[in-house]
Amino acid sequence: MAHLLIMPRQGNTVESCIIVRWKAAEGQSVQSDQTVCEVETDKASFDVPAGASGFLLKILRPEGDDVPVLEPIAVIGERGEDWQAALGGAAPAAPSATATAASAGPAPARVAPAASATPPQAPVAAGVSAVSPRARKLAAAEGVDAPNLAGSGPGGRVIERDVTAALAGRPPLTAAAKAAVLAGAPAPAFGTALGGRAGLADLGSKAPSAPAETGNVFTETPLKGVRKLISERMRASLAGTAQLTFNGSAAAARLQALRARFKASDPALGLSEVTIGDLVLYAVSRVLPRFPNANATLENGALRVYERVHLALAVDTPRGLMVPVIRDADLLSLRQISAQAKRLAAACQAGNINPDELSGGTFTVSNLGAFGIESFTPVLYAPQVAILGVDAIMPRAASGPGGTVVLEQRIGLSITVDHQVIDGAPAARLLKAFADAIADIDLLLMA
Amino acid sequence: MAAYDVIIIGGGPGGYVAAERLGARKKKVLLIEKEALGGTCLNVGCIPTKTLLNSAKHYVHALEGEKYGIKTTGTSFDWAAMQAWKGEVVEKLRAGIAATEKRLGVEVLAAEARLLGIGKVEARDSRGAATVHEAPAIIVATGSTPAMPPIPGTKDNSRVVDSTGLLELKEVPKRLCVIGGGVIGVEFAGLFAALGSQVEVVEMMDEIVPFMDKEQAPVLRRAMKGVAFRLGCKVERLEGATVRYKAKDGDAAAEADLVLMAVGRRPVLEGWGAKEAGLDMTPRGLVVDERMRTNLPGVWAVGDVTGKSLLAHSAYRMADVAVADILAGGGASRRADRMRYDAVPWAVYGITEAAGVGMTEQEALAKGIGILKASLPLRVSGRFCAENGFASQGAVKVLADRGSGRLLGVHVVGAYASEMIWGAAALIEQELRIADAREVIFPHPTVCEAIRDALFELEHE
């Protein structure tokens, strides 16, 4: 019995994926766990396994197609089997809920998240980007130099939306200029002809010239991809929440001592790579369950308090801020948390993070300590209701024995809460609990 | 705080249009004009000449009417009545401008303006009383005046007039010698020839109207039957109304009753403080950029004073560009208008008209552009034949880029040329290719259909 291979769902925010490449041809024999195609979202690319062994009877959606999740993309079955039967009569070009329903068998369940099964994909070399087939087609029709666009796809891959954005940022062309661009002339970035159109004189023109008043040259680039996403989320966060930040600090002596011992420890213990940041993550994962209202999300006027701590981690990447999630952090050991944090950060840096791992966070930690930041106001990763900013460890004055003043190494902590659901005093209690846990991190680890 | 948003120096086509545009946008505008609103164009240029020419056309049509079945006897013209009609037209149009400025809230000041520097203009009225006005933006539109070359015998010669003087004639000269075969010279030559004057045009270049296509200028000359053209002749001196010139084959003279000096116009760069204020200029005009900005911040210049394109419609467009820049706050708005000179149409008026836009064949060749060209006589147009007979002069010429097929130029000699050329300007301004332009539907029966026919004559897929 033939079964439908469907476009797997990749996290809650992903509505569709672009088929980048079919790795198996029609008529080819495939194994259940064999990758048959590569798909991409705006955040990442991943491989889709066949999900069933047999023959790839029919590819329903060609390379370059943007396919809504859970829609069929191919039929796998016995040799000579009628692939149309699997579709239940639905036309392949207009797959729908009926087609999905017809496949309501094992297929969706068998589609495993790709990241765990395949090695990370190497990012494309800077400068000239890879271009998805759909993007290439549109670019050819409109005379856009796709390989030189800043791709918002994985590894800088240029996908259709990049070409669309390039077109939106380009002035309309006169008939002659359009013909010239299609014939290979450099596309204009702005136009001086009729009504702001770009004419032949504008071919190859650069983006807006300098304002005469200041003589200051600038370039203008529309936000796209990850940057656009961050822009929207941050603005939505500040506009839709009542943010309030508290700053405090914790004694860092034991943190530093522990870190020094880990570093010097036998690698066989698996602790030598554990950082101060990992220790703070561990402390947070253990304190949060005592403050359930902070391990929560607020959406549409309803507060969701979570049982498990899905600890989100702000990661600085070349493409901008990404926030991967360590799931069930409250159940993981220090070594596991450390390993997860490293794996996720690396995947974000490489641009091949599984979108599933970018969603579902219940609380976020943003660590800027390495930059010497003494305090800051972290912005909530809405709909989460709290975020902890970790600052640098600095020597600070403290009262010593006999009324003397001594210097003490302290780590700064900045917590932002959504005052809609967390008042000042509970926020202060939470910050104090974090500080106490960090100050006595060695005891916490033994608890 | 400045009392005005914008002060405009000069009430000609550049100045009064800028004032209207700004007034319509509720800007507080002061328009300073020392003579009459409308400038050269309305008072001593486009409009009075076209009014007189219209009378001449009626006269010629009456004389030639028999061919079309219309018989008249005792046909004559009344120069004084023609002048009176001209005066009425000019006066009414002038009042129209004044009314428009008033309606749009523009303050018009009859005074001589002087630019004192950035943001400051002095206005001196006829009694010599001066006031200083301030505005963050100033538009200079001082126009141009007829050029008087230092030809021996010109100075204090009552038989020599410029175009302004010729318009005020009390009677039509029996013999007129026109020095200069440019637009102005050719138009007046045509006007007076139509009224029966014996007209000679002495032109230093080998062809009349320098910006006309060299294949078209002869068509216009042939159409002007009553005018003798002396081409390639350099005027040496004037003796009364006798013009002595050096022709290719030796010295010669044109005996006339009146001499029109029509060797061109020069921008008005003096007498209003341009140099003192520090405006950049060349002898050909104020230096402006593509947004009509001068080198002084807050000072724009439009029209003839820029020396860029001495045409009223160029001044209109320049005014729009300057106004757009001013309204944009002087910032570098990406959409801000820019002045483009590649598709400025021109027209020469007469019993037979000429008009063109874009490149001539000679300009294209000089630039090394490979061209496709097609010329057709206007006899391809049924309307042209019906109204002008089969022997009338008239031609259309279309040029396109050989490689891209883009239209480069359209040139027309013949009736209605001035009225149809804007359409060609639109085709060229949009950079349409031959195939694109062929898709445009032209009305029938018209003379402008000849342009469409010429487009299909081009050897292009």
Kindly state whether residue A162 falls inside one of the protein's structural domains: no
Residues in A closer than 8 angstroms to B332, CB to CB, are: 208-212
For A422, the domain range is 227-446
Kindly state whether residue B174 falls inside one of the protein's structural domains: yes
C-alpha distances in Å from residue A18, one per residue of A8, A39, A92, B213: 11, 5, 16, 57
One domain for residues B16 and B140: yes
One domain for residues B133 and B250: no
The alpha carbon of residue B431 is apart from the nearest alpha carbon of chain A, in Å, by 6
Residues in A closer than 8 angstroms to B406, CB to CB, are: 175-176, 200
Can you give the pTM of this predicted structure? 0.61
Q: What is the pLDDT of residue A102?
A: 36
One domain for residues B309 and B374: no
The alpha carbon of residue B427 is apart from the nearest alpha carbon of chain A, in Å, by 10
One domain for residues B359 and B310: no
One domain for residues B233 and B305: no
The token pair at B453 is 């026919």
Residues in B closer than 8 angstroms to A199, CB to CB, are: 431
C-alpha distances in Å from residue B428, one per residue of B32, B405, B408: 36, 11, 7
One domain for residues A365 and A244: yes
Kindly state whether residue B123 falls inside one of the protein's structural domains: yes
B432/A190 CB distance under 8 A: no
One domain for residues A427 and A358: yes
Neighbours of B372 (CB within 10 A): 18
Q: What is the pLDDT of residue A69?
A: 83
Kindly state whether residue A211 falls inside one of the protein's structural domains: yes
Kindly state whether residue B287 falls inside one of the protein's structural domains: yes
d(CA B446, CA B443): 6
Kindly state whether residue A244 falls inside one of the protein's structural domains: yes
> pLDDT tens, B311-338?
999 999 999 999 999 998 755 555 668 9
Domain count, chain A: 3
One domain for residues A191 and A237: no
The alpha carbon of residue A173 is apart from the nearest alpha carbon of chain B, in Å, by 9
A212/B290 CB distance under 8 A: no
One domain for residues A217 and A263: no
Whether residue A394 contacts residue A251, with contact meaning beta carbons closer than 8 Å, is answered with no
The alpha carbon of residue A219 is apart from the nearest alpha carbon of chain B, in Å, by 12
Tell me phi and psi for residue A303, to 5 degrees. -95, 125
> pLDDT tens, B209-224?
999 999 999 999 999 9
One domain for residues B111 and B214: no
One domain for residues B306 and B362: no
Kindly state whether residue B13 falls inside one of the protein's structural domains: yes
Among B441, B400, B392, smallest CA distance to B417 is for B392
One domain for residues A95 and A216: no
Q: Does the beta carbon of A198 lie under 8 angstroms from any beta carbon of chain B?
A: no
- CATH number assigned to the domain comprising residue A273: 3.30.559.10
C-alpha distances in Å from residue B437, one per residue of A5, B6, B168, B273, B400: 52, 41, 45, 48, 11
One domain for residues B25 and B131: yes
One domain for residues A311 and A356: yes
Which of A64, A85, A110 terminates a domain? The answer is A110
Kindly state whether residue B337 falls inside one of the protein's structural domains: no
Which of A187, A221, A255 terminates a domain? The answer is A221
One domain for residues B360 and B411: yes
Residue B344 pLDDT greater than 80, yes or no: yes
Provide ipTM, 2 decimals. Answer: 0.73
d(CA A61, CA B202): 78
Q: Does the beta carbon of A203 lie under 8 angstroms from any beta carbon of chain B?
A: no
Number of CB pairs, chain A paired with chain B, less than 8 A apart: 50
Q: Which residue of B has its CA nearest to A179?
A: B404
One domain for residues A339 and A381: yes
A200/B431 CB distance under 8 A: yes
B332/A209 CB distance under 8 A: yes
Neighbours of A262 (CB within 10 A): 21
Which of B247, B263, B279 terminates a domain? The answer is B263
- CATH number assigned to the domain comprising residue B217: 3.50.50.60
The alpha carbon of residue B23 is apart from the nearest alpha carbon of chain A, in Å, by 23
One domain for residues A276 and A197: no
The token pair at A85 is 């039967």
C-alpha distances in Å from residue A346, one per residue of A336, B150, B312: 15, 84, 68
- CATH number assigned to the domain comprising residue A102: 2.40.50.100
Q: Which residue of A has its CA nearest to B290?
A: A192
A212/B293 CB distance under 8 A: yes
Q: What is the pLDDT of residue A92?
A: 45
Q: Which residue of B has its CA nearest to A206?
A: B334
Residue B58 pLDDT greater than 90, yes or no: yes
Q: What is the pLDDT of residue A103?
A: 37
Which of B239, B263, B287 terminates a domain? The answer is B263
Kindly state whether residue A213 falls inside one of the protein's structural domains: yes
Kindly state whether residue A279 falls inside one of the protein's structural domains: yes
Kindly state whether residue B155 falls inside one of the protein's structural domains: no
Mean pLDDT of B104-122: 96
Kindly state whether residue A144 falls inside one of the protein's structural domains: no
Active site residue B444: yes
Whether residue A73 contacts residue A5, with contact meaning beta carbons closer than 8 Å, is answered with yes
Q: Does the beta carbon of A192 lie under 8 angstroms from any beta carbon of chain B?
A: yes
One domain for residues B223 and B304: no
Catalytic annotation, pick one of B61, B313, B444, B460: B444
Q: Give chain A's count of helices (H) and strands (E).
A: 12, 18
Q: Does the beta carbon of A200 lie under 8 angstroms from any beta carbon of chain B?
A: yes
Residue B356 pLDDT greater than 90, yes or no: yes
Residues in A closer than 8 angstroms to B359, CB to CB, are: none
Among A90, A109, A108, A112, smallest CA distance to A99 is for A90
One domain for residues B450 and B411: yes
Residues in B closer than 8 angstroms to A192, CB to CB, are: 290, 338, 340
Q: What is the pLDDT of residue A86?
A: 76
Catalytic annotation, pick one of A145, A316, A419, A440: A419
Bond before B445 cis per omega within 30 degrees: yes
> pLDDT tens, B392-440?
899 999 999 998 899 999 999 999 999 999 999 999 999 999 999 999 9
Tell me phi and psi for residue B185, to 5 degrees. -60, -45
Among B354, B318, B380, B392, smallest CA distance to B14 is for B318
Place of tokens 């799931």: A327
A208/B293 CB distance under 8 A: no
Q: What is the pLDDT of residue A100?
A: 36
Kindly state whether residue B439 falls inside one of the protein's structural domains: yes
> What are the DSSP calls for A254-283, one per residue?
HHHHHHHHHHHS-GGGS-TT--HHHHHHHH
Mean pLDDT of successive 10-residue stretches along chain A, which has 447 residues: 80 76 86 85 75 88 84 87 72 39 36 36 48 86 82 82 85 88 83 85 73 61 74 89 95 94 90 93 96 94 94 89 93 94 91 85 94 94 95 91 91 96 95 95 90
Kindly state whether residue A320 falls inside one of the protein's structural domains: yes
The alpha carbon of residue A221 is apart from the nearest alpha carbon of chain B, in Å, by 14
For B257, the domain range is 160-263
d(CA B383, CA B445): 6
Q: What is the pLDDT of residue A292?
A: 92
Residues in A closer than 8 angstroms to B436, CB to CB, are: 175
One domain for residues A100 and A195: no
Nearest to B433 among A176, A210, A211 (CB): A176
Mutation for testing the A interface, residue in B344, B431, B440, B461 having most A CBs under 10 Å:
B431
Q: What is the pLDDT of residue A107?
A: 37
Domain count, chain B: 3
Q: Does the beta carbon of B331 lie under 8 angstroms from any beta carbon of chain A?
A: yes
Nearest to B332 among A176, A193, A212 (CB): A212
One domain for residues B35 and B12: yes
Kindly state whether residue A143 falls inside one of the protein's structural domains: no
Written as one letter, the residue type at A436 is D
Q: Which residue of B has its CA nearest to A197?
A: B430
Q: What residues have CB less than 8 Å from B77, skipping those under 6 apart?
A: B55, B56, B59, B195
One domain for residues A191 and A340: no
Judging by beta carbons within 10 Å of its beta carbon (0-12, 13-18, 19+), is residue A406 exposed, middle or buried? exposed
C-alpha distances in Å from residue A77, one per residue of A31, A32, A69, A81: 11, 11, 21, 6
Kindly state whether residue B154 falls inside one of the protein's structural domains: no
